[in-house]
Amino acid sequence: MILNQKLITTLPIPYKGGIDSTWNFFARDDEFREHVCKYLVQHGCNAIVCLLNNTNLEDRVSIFRGTYGSKVDYQKLELVVEWARRITEAGGYFVPCLFCDDDYSIKDSYYEHVRYISILGTVLEKYVAGWIVWLEGYEVISTATLRTFVGYMKANVTDKPIGSHGVYKKEYDPGNLDFWVNEFPWHPHDGVNHSTAEALDIAQKIIEESKLPIWFLEDCWDPETATARERARALLKLPGTIGVGAPIDGK
């Protein structure tokens, strides 16, 4: 179970002279996916986080043909399952994120969302190490709505841990979540301008206030920097941390 592991990954991935993201793992081609997996392995990472759905036209990820909730694109679904299988059989932890913060249709499409969750749960459950239900969830939905979806998943879809992602705030009610995937309060592109001491202070408060295992996933947009790796090593030592978002090797 991932709650008993130390998960090491990186969202930002150096690629073709720039920085891309594993959020886009299924929005790109196989060349990109091969590059991501190779980079993670080379730098001692053991987990990957990626989106399974969004409404972004430029970086579209969906298992549906056309609009959300329409006919299933079985070719895309097969691709998702195949990569989940490959990652798992290679010893990696596959932790997909079901919904993106650009999905504002939640209040109008509950049953379509349940259908989507059920489809993915049926084909992916044996490969996933845990689920992230929402990227920036509290920007889009209420605690009550999040609790409803997590409750449905636990009752009908999965016995794996379920988390949600975002900038943690004290007023949030973690509800029935099993872990929290944390983004620090600064923009990741500005991460190198914040000290490890500052990050550790924030991290300790989040662990104490949330009472949840924390995956500190998102704080610096360049995994090649000494800052990102120093911070990841320091965060990983905190009791209550189950994972970090930068390689811990080298530098």
Three-state SS string over 142-211 comes to CHHHHHHHHHHHHHHCCCCCEEEEECCCCCCCCCCCCEEEEECCCCHHHHHHCCHHHHHHHHHHHHHHHC
Tally helices (H) and strands (E) across the chain. 6, 10
DSSP three-state, residue 29: coil
- What share of the chain has pLDDT > 70, as a percent? 95
Whose structure tokens read 């009472």? 211
Residue 31 · residue 5 · CB < 8 Å = no
For the beta carbon of residue 162, count every other beta carbon within 10 angstroms.
22
Enter the CATH code of domain 2-244. Answer: 3.20.20.80
Distance (Å, whole) CA 235 – CA 216: 8
DSSP three-state, residue 30: helix
Query: pLDDT tens across 52-68, in order?
Result: 988 777 788 889 887 76
Residue 207 · residue 201 · CB < 8 Å = no
List average pLDDT for each run of 10 residues in the chain, which is 251 residues long.
87 96 96 98 97 84 79 94 98 95 66 88 96 85 86 95 91 86 94 96 95 94 94 96 91 52
Instruction: Break the chain into its structural domains and give their ranges.
Output: 2-244
In residues, how long is the chain? 251
